[in-house]
Amino acid sequence: MSQLKIPSGFTDATEFPLFEAIFGRRSRRFFRGAQIPDGVFAYKSKHPILPLSDLEKNLIIAACASNTSWHHLIYRAQQYAPHLPNYSASASGRSFPSSAGFHTSMTFFTDDNGVYVLNNRDAQNISERKENGQLELTDLIDDLTNKATKISNQRLSLPPEIPYAEPHNTWVVNHPGTFLVIPVGNLSEHLLLNLCYMLQNGKVIYDDINKRPIPGIAHFSSLVNPEDTWNLTFVEQWSLCELTTELSSSCYAGTLALQAMGLGGWMFNGLDAFSVLGASEKPDVKGLGFRYDTSNDWPYPNVTGLPGIMEGYCPPYYHDMRGAVEAICERKFGPGGPFHEQTPGPWKDSAKVRSSAQIHDEQFRQCVALQAQYILDTFGKFPGTTPSIFCFIYLQAHHLDLDFYDSYYKNGAYLQSHADHISKWHSDNYQHDR
């Protein structure tokens, strides 16, 4: 951060009123260098493309996905009090919420310089809060720049055309000069964590598609009532909804930052998610390059992971689902995990807090693995009815062409932060403005 020139707009953004950002939020799509060739909004920008600066990009990613110190965990669960609830999978929190602290997503982003991934969900060298609870924003930015990895030297391989983009996005999305944030969720991991959550609260799944209980589940009657079930389809849809909320909250945090910074952009889902991940089945449309499988039994390709970067908690990354369960337990209870006594935390006696959670014993792990393996064997993938790796919503940021809005809109189409952006963030480029 110290090597970056800090413009006056940065200070303005950090002091921007929250409610002005909330109520001033709009999707502002027309960027400098854009063109709408026809129709009632036909317009060609008179300004050259102006890519976001490093500081602008870093601040957006900080809003979308920064690590924001230690997760406070959940204090009590009636089913097994006084033990500390052992749901969470991460010891640290990020700028968006995650169900029970699962944190099963990573953040990818792309611009003209390449594609990057930020994996900071289990980071241990995180920023500590001050006595008043605040965090130093410059420290967050420095932290995430150290944790971002470049995985491609080219912009995301996804043409801004049908069928990869919705018809209303072809003229604007993923064009030169734009910045695109892509949160990606590991739904296989999320479902495993929910199976642990369910079992900890006395429930197992029932296969409502094939109308049968999980074979062998009665062997665990000393641990759980085999008749106390949730339907498989409900649990998988529930997990999908929880993960979608995580991804969406990340992008919404970014949209608020856009208002404060005076940048254009919007959050949206108008891209083909399979193509974004890399499952377009077109060699020249690589997307993020994730591995995927196909089957005549599935309506869509199933993306399973990006080797070495974001791998599903399922084959081919684990020999069987017991291996995936062990990996889940290692994340929760191993070094750096939320329930390892040596993991630091926000409490006066963090070791006492973290060690008060029950570690999943052998019988518990066998029961979770039995259910997970049944899903894999029955449906050929895990989860059985939803994707293993999932993306849904995106955030694009760009520099607005204010002339377009002045031509077609009444006063008030953009905020004062947008009106002042070029002069306060790009004084060297001010000659290009009106």
pLDDT (tens, 9 = 90+) of the chain, 434 residues, equals 445 578 999 999 999 999 999 999 999 999 999 999 999 999 999 999 999 999 999 999 999 999 888 999 999 998 888 999 999 999 999 999 999 999 999 999 999 999 999 988 887 767 777 778 787 887 777 777 778 999 999 999 999 999 999 999 999 999 999 999 999 999 999 999 999 999 999 999 999 999 999 999 999 999 999 999 999 999 999 999 999 999 999 999 999 999 999 999 999 999 999 999 999 989 999 999 999 999 999 999 999 999 999 999 999 999 999 999 999 999 999 999 999 999 999 999 999 999 999 999 999 999 999 999 999 999 999 999 999 999 999 999 999 999 999 999 999 999 999 999 999 999 865 444 43
Radius of gyration of the chain (CA): 23
Considering all CA atoms of the chain, what is the largest pairwise distance in Å, rounded to the nearest integer?
75
Look at domain 8-429 and name its CATH class.
alpha beta
pLDDT of residue 75: 94
pLDDT tens, 34-92? 999 999 999 999 999 999 999 999 999 999 999 888 999 999 998 888 999 999 999 99
pLDDT of residue 434: 34
Query: What amino acid is encoded at 106 in this protein?
Result: M
pLDDT of residue 125: 66
Strands 229-231 and 35-36: unpaired
Q: Quick check: 102 and 133 in contact, CB under 8 A?
A: no
Nearest to 137 by CA among 264, 251, 16, 262: 16
pLDDT of residue 2: 47
CA distance 4 to 97: 30
pLDDT tens, 206-228? 999 999 999 999 999 999 999 99
Note if the pTM is more than 0.85: yes
